[in-house]
């Protein structure tokens, strides 16, 4: 048995109960392995393991193949694992809460704790900072100071008359906190810590004035280095530059992001760096210098290292897994022992260990323990043209073992809207395909990752061409003979949930049923709610949404024209509404508004409430509850095994 699978078996000593074996649970419960991080010396693996509703973090000795430490996390929402030296594991989690009951709106707040492997004791960070509420402004960063690992993290100190962003140093020997940098006025959007632990830079943005500022740390004080005016797209602080001392900034220019370097005093050092500026920055685990970028170009995930030898080593890693997609997950300080996440078209996602010293690989375990190759459906890229001639792309998941002709179809739009669907395994799409449905994911106009012209083509098209791009995809598949145009439903979450409601109210005559998970229904109220929660920064939020919605402001009457709740009387198909009570992105109120509108219009609907669930379906039981309700509704409204006369055609 692979050694990490032995570790998974060892979790039984920490948990009670057995794994659920229902077929949908294999897709709908949280992954058996959510994340893995390797220690700096390459000896230990920290593994975030889930079994039903219970989560355990185990630390495994790779050579011995045994668990050496572990903690029961229960239902805690673990978001990140990172090593601070070889003896401390920093665990970041989130909780849906308000700050100290009154200081900030109910939101998803991040907290961190130090797991000391010598004592197996878990100690919360920032507990000794007054008025901080233990809440983080972002993931901690690790630096080596005086030969010892030190944690730096950001927080917000809430006070009567103002709030201050703080940069805090945590001594892991004592878990004592020290404030090393603060801001006043506009809160810092981000801090950058130098390799030696000193503050390096911060950025601030004030939405009303559209003022963006970059400040550098000099003489134990912040000094302004740059200032720009930006309405929505602001420059970003991306990390340390290629020499480990310079400052890496991503600028939005000429419709794309470009990376450039500044000296520690803020002077410009270079023209834009090679590679895509919007990609993930890869940094060296010791020097923290930028050594490359990772990005998704079309359907290809690319790793571009600045050093040719590093590029050759990565190509060797990829070559070890032919026919699979390989992603860097974690590596040792010498970058020779590497955890990779691999995706196979037939086996789904999982993790492997690469040892460049020995020239060997080792399988660690699948991400979804209960799935076999027979449970994985084929995903293929598709390309088609919208009604106005714009070329669109997406992915079609075909049910395993069925002839791809006249299949029932689920149109499954992504959220965002300015994100994108990616190639590979999608647990939700795979679950629907496992029940006999073809599943179409369209990167409609306004999706990111395809260039600024494509993204900006979505401005003003919320509920319009962004919506008809989806139904154009269904018509394309029907013309190919792949799907039955009389058996098309739409399912989505967040913006995808809005698209499902819009498919039932605005783009009618296409779908046989609709499932909305946490989708907006009243856009004016959504914008008002979102912008009010952000204080002064709320204007930037409002600008972002109204640009896609084609409105001049929250009071624009056009918003009623594209709000599904205002068109409930047009519904002629069954609708299922699902929403988590702890949603802090799209408030639960939005689904209640839609349900009330349908009730007033005399339209039938089903409403499933997910108690204690957030916007991201982070809990295993409610995620499975959502999936089971969705499948039951699809099978009732659009049975997958028979052609039903009288359904609305996709034309």
Cα separation of 136 and 407, whole Å? 48
Residue 345, pLDDT score: 86
Note the pLDDT of residue 14.
37
The stretch 137-157 carries a mean pLDDT of 88
Topology adopted by domain 377-522+563-637: Rossmann fold (3.40.50)
Q: What is the 3-state secondary structure (H, E, C) of 538-582?
A: HHHHHHHHHHHHCCCCCCCCHHHHCCHHHHHHHCCCCEEEEEECC
Element (H, E) at 31: none
Percent of the chain with pLDDT over 70: 89
Residue 69, token pair as written in the block? 């430490």
- Residue 633: band (very low, low, confident or very high) from pLDDT cuts 50, 70, 90: very high
Res. 183: pLDDT tops 80: no
Q: Is the pLDDT of residue 181 over 60?
A: yes
pLDDT band (50, 70, 90) for residue 6 = very low
Measure the CA–CA gap between 643 and 335, rounded to whole angstroms. Answer: 55
> What's the CA gap between 582 and 576, in Å, rounded?
19
pLDDT in tens, 562-602: 999 999 999 999 999 999 999 999 999 999 999 999 999 99
What percentage of the chain exceeds 90 in pLDDT? 67
User: How many Cα atoms within 13 Å fall on the side-chain side of residue 577?
Assistant: 28
- The model's confidence at residue 105, banded by pLDDT at 50, 70 and 90, is low
For the chain, the structural domain boundaries read 1-75+307-367, 377-522+563-637
Q: What is the mean pLDDT of residues 250-272?
A: 83
Q: By the 8 A CB rule, do 163 and 156 touch?
A: yes
Confidence at residue 276, expressed as pLDDT on a 0 to 100 scale: 62
CA distance 113 to 593: 39
Across 425-436, average pLDDT? 96
Using an 8 Å Cβ cutoff, are 56 and 74 in contact?
no
One DSSP character per residue, 393-404 reads EEEEEEPTTS-S
Residue 299 has a pLDDT of 86
pTM of the predicted structure, to 2 decimals: 0.91
Is pLDDT above 50 for 16? no
Residues 6+ apart with CB under 8 A from 479: none
**What mean pLDDT is predicted for residues 414-440?**
95
Cα(355)–Cα(64) distance, integer angstroms: 16
Across residues 249-275, what is the average pLDDT? Answer: 81
Instruction: Tell me what the pLDDT averaged over the chain comes to.
Output: 88
CB-CB contact of 239 with 281 (8 Å)? yes
Nearest to 92 by CA among 68, 108, 69: 108
pLDDT band at 232 (very low <50, low <70, confident <90, very high): confident
CB count in 10 Å sphere of residue 651? 12
Q: What are phi and psi of 598, to 5 degrees?
A: -65, -40
Count of C-beta atoms within a 10 Å radius of residue 68 = 13
CB 209 within 8 A of CB 193: no
pLDDT at 274: 65
Decide: 446 and 417 in contact? Cβ < 8 Å: yes
Pull the structure tokens for residue 577: 């509404």
Three-state SS for 375? helix
C-alpha to C-alpha distances, 579 to 356, 599, 622, 623, nearest whole angstrom: 46, 17, 10, 11
pLDDT of residue 102: 45
At 258, phi and psi to the nearest 5?
A: -130, 140
Picking from 547, 527, 524, the residue whose alpha carbon sits closest to that of residue 538 is 527
pLDDT digit string (tens) for 511-563?
999 999 999 999 999 999 988 776 666 788 888 889 999 998 888 999 999 99
Q: Which of 85, 31, 89 has its CA nearest to residue 58?
A: 89
Q: How confident is the model at residue 186 (pLDDT cuts 50, 70, 90)?
A: low
Q: Which range (99-103, 269-273, 414-418) has the least confidence? A: 99-103
Asked if 570 contacts 561 with a C-beta cutoff of 8 angstroms, the reply is no
The answer to whether the beta carbons of residues 235 and 252 sit under 8 Å apart is yes
Residue 636 has pLDDT above 70, yes or no: yes
Query: Residue 498 phi/psi, 5° resolution?
Result: -60, -45
CA of 57: how far to CAs of 15, 37, 80, 426, in Å?
11, 11, 11, 24
DSSP reduced 3-state for 98 = strand
- Where does the pLDDT of residue 278 fall: very low under 50, low under 70, confident under 90, or very high at 90 and above? low
pLDDT given for residue 140 in this prediction: 93
Q: Rounded to an integer, what distance in angstroms lies between the CA atom of residue 13 and that of residue 64? A: 18
- Dihedral angle, C-alpha 211, 216, 222, 225, nearest 10 °: -50
Q: What is the C-alpha to C-alpha distance for residues 580 and 582, in angstroms, rounded to an integer?
A: 5
Helix (H), strand (E) counts: the chain:
12, 34
Among candidates 321, 317, 250, which has minimal Cα distance to 280?
A: 250
């Amino acid at each position: 048995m692979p050694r990490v699978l032995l570790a998974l078996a060892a979790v039984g000593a920490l948990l009670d109960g057995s794994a659920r074996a229902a077929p949908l649970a294999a897709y709908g419960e949280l992954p058996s392995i959510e994340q893995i991080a390797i220690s700096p010396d390459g000896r230990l693996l920290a593994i975030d393991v889930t079994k039903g509703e219970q989560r355990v973090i185990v630390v495994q000795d790779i050579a011995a193949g045994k668990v050496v430490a572990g903690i029961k996390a229960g239902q805690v929402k673990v978001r990140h694992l990172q090593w601070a030296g070889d003896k401390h594991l920093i665990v970041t989690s989130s909780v849906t809460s308000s700050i100290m009951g009154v200081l900030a709106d109910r939101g998803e707040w991040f907290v961190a704790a130090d797991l000391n492997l010598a004592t197996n004791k878990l100690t919360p960070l920032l507990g000794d900072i007054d008025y901080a509420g233990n809440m983080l402004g972002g993931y901690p960063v690790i630096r080596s100071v005086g030969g010892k690992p030190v944690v730096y993290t950001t927080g917000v100190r809430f006070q009567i008359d103002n709030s201050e962003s703080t940069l805090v140093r945590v001594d892991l020997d004592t878990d004592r906190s020290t404030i090393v940098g603060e801001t006043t006025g506009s809160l810092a959007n981000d801090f950058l810590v130098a390799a030696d632990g000193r503050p390096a830079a911060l950025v601030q943005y004030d939405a009303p004035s559209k003022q963006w500022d970059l400040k550098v740390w000099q003489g134990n004080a912040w000094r302004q280095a740059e200032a720009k005016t930006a309405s929505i797209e602001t420059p970003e602080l991306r990390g340390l530059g290629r020499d480990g001392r310079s400052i890496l900034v991503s600028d939005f220019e000429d419709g794309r992001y470009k990376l450039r370097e500044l000296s520690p005093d803020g002077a410009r050092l270079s023209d834009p760096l090679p590679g895509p500026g919007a990609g993930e920055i890869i940094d060296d685990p010791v020097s923290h210098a930028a050594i490359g970028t990772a990005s998704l170009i079309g359907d290809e995930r690319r790793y571009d290292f600045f050093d040719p030898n590093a590029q050759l080593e990565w190509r060797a890693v990829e070559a070890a897994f032919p026919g699979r997609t390989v992603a860097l997950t974690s590596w040792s300080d010498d970058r020779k022992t590497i955890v990779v996440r691999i995706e196979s078209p037939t086996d789904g996602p999982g993790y492997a260990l690469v040892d460049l010293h020995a020239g060997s690989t080792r399988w660690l375990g699948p991400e979804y323990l209960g799935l076999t190759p027979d449970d994985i459906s084929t995903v293929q890229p598709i390309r088609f043209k919208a009604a106005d001639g714009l070329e669109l792309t997406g992915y079609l998941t075909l049910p395993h073992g069925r002839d791809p002709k006249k299949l029932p179809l689920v149109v499954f739009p992504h959220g965002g809207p300015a994100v994108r669907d990616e190639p590979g395994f999608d647990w939700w799409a795979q679950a629907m395909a496992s029940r006999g449905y073809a599943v179409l994911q369209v990167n409609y106009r306004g999706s990111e990752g395809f260039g600024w012209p494509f993204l900006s083509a979505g401005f003003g098209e919320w509920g319009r061409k962004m919506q008809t791009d989806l139904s154009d995809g269904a018509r394309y598949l029907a013309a190919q003979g792949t799907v039955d145009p009389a058996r098309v439903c739409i399912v989505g979450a967040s913006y995808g949930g809005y698209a499902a409601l819009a498919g039932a109210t605005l783009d009618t005559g296409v779908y046989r049923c609709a499932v909305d998970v946490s989708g907006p229904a009243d856009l004016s109220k959504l914008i008002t709610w979102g912008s009010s929660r952000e204080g002064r920064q709320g204007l930037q939020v409002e600008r972002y949404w109204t640009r896609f919605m084609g409105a001049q402001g929250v009071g624009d009457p056009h918003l009623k024209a594209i709000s599904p709740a205002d068109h409930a009387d047009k519904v002629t198909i069954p609708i299922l509404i699902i929403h988590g009570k702890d949603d802090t992105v799209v408030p639960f109120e939005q689904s209640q508004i839609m349900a009330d509108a349908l009730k007033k219009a005399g339209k039938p609907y089903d409403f499933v409430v997910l108690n204690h669930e957030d916007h991201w379906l982070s809990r295993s039981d409610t995620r499975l509850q959502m999936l089971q309700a969705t499948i039951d509704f699809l099978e009732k409204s659009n049975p997958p095994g028979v052609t039903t006369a009288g359904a609305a055609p996709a034309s």
